[in-house]
Amino acid sequence: MRPLDGMRVLDLSQQLPGPYATLLLAAMGAEVTKVEPPSGDASRSLDPEMFGNVNAGKSSITLDLKTEHGRQGLYRLVRRHDVVVEGFRPGVAARLGCDAPALHALRPELVYCSISGAGQTGPLARHPTHDISLQAVAGALAGDGDVDRIGVPWVDLAAGSSAALAITAAWHAGRGVHLDMSMLDAALAWSRVKPSAVEGRREPTYGTLRTADGGRVVIALLEDAMWRRLCTALGWDDWAADERLGRHVDRRRHADEVRDRLEESAAAMTSSALLDLAARHDLPIGPADGGTDPDAATQIATRVRPDAPPWRACVPLPDALVGELRPAPALTDDR
């Protein structure tokens, strides 16, 4: 018996936030049917690898919701499902006849989850957005330099994770509800947990460092006790007892001075020498590329099986409560 056995989900969303939410639901036992337009989820062609990763364990049908035939097909499905997830821009679901009021009229106890860029209300509600633009609105693009990539799309994934949690809670409550999930809300919530992380100020002992042999290491040192160990390791006897730098908040006020000396010290050592020094003094300094670090590879293999799908680490339940998910479905014409 898996935690969400018996939950039946229709997923009308595309790309990443909605499909990631329903992937988590599927991993915990929900039966998820992906409802795609005749052309398929756009990510089938835009990012096939991501599509395969976030749509495992689901079945798929195609319905053209711009036609009466397609809408009637959806209505028949809604009557025997518990959850609907949609990722349209606000107003689109109403035009297609599949908004919350329309579907609640068919199934009052339905958990209807809308996932949109900025939410269903407000001046930006219908504005097209993606992860980077929402990070910008939330003030979460750290630093003042130009940005041409964001790496992991954490806003998309945060919204999907929050949606899965809210859907699960609403389903267990057993009442019909419209969940207005906003990616912007997720960006604001996560960035405000640690406001100092996105203030754009230079961190004195946090980031990457270049070493004498052209390598890179990463340092993530914030705690005052760690600072004292760093001073001992690098022979900074003059700073070890300097009251100006005793607390993290003080070191941030002298960030340029601390950072310049740190970079100078790192540049005088090879990467291996600096990493050995860090190990001896129990300092949070490691390789900048974890893929080249044997210990990192062993740690990852210890936590997640090499053949495990990407979602497995996000659902840390025993195997007996999760099971395996079949591969993402092919696109078929079920009209």
pLDDT tens profile 166-218: 999 999 999 999 999 999 999 999 888 877 666 666 789 989 999 999 999 99
Which of 297 and 221 is assigned the larger pLDDT?
221
Residue 272: per-residue pLDDT: 93
CB 39 within 8 A of CB 333: no
CB 327 within 8 A of CB 52: yes
| Residue 179 Cα distances to 10, 40, 81, 84, angstroms | 15, 25, 16, 10
Check pLDDT > 60 for residue 335: no
Nearest residue to 51 (alpha-carbon basis) of 88, 10, 14: 14
The span from the CA of 216 to the CA of 199, in Å, is 25
* CB environment 197-229: b (16+ within 10 A), e (fewer): ebeeeebbbbeebebeeebebebebeeeebbbb
User: What are 288-312's pLDDT values in tens digits?
Assistant: 887 777 877 787 777 777 777 766 7
User: What are 33-63's pLDDT values in tens digits?
Assistant: 999 999 999 999 989 999 999 999 999 999 9
- Paired tokens of 94: 């109403």
Residue 293: per-residue pLDDT: 77
Q: DSSP character for 126?
A: T
For residue 105, what pLDDT band results from cuts at 50, 70 and 90?
Answer: very high
> What is the secondary structure of 112-123 as a DSSP string?
EEEEESS-SSST
Check pLDDT > 70 for residue 334: no
CB 211 within 8 A of CB 272: no
Residue 309: per-residue pLDDT: 72
- 156 noted as active-site residue: yes
Catalytic residue among 11, 99, 156, 185: 156
Residue 58: per-residue pLDDT: 96
The span from the CA of 74 to the CA of 152, in Å, is 33
CB 42 within 8 A of CB 308: no
* Region 9-33 average pLDDT: 96
The span from the CA of 33 to the CA of 9, in Å, is 6
pTM, entire model? 0.83
Q: Average pLDDT, whole number, for the chain?
A: 90
Residue 85: per-residue pLDDT: 98
- Paired tokens of 51: 């599509």
CB 196 within 8 A of CB 254: no
Residue 148: per-residue pLDDT: 66
Residue 226: per-residue pLDDT: 94
| Residue 250 Cα distances to 24, 225, 254, 259, angstroms | 42, 14, 7, 13
- Paired tokens of 306: 């090499």
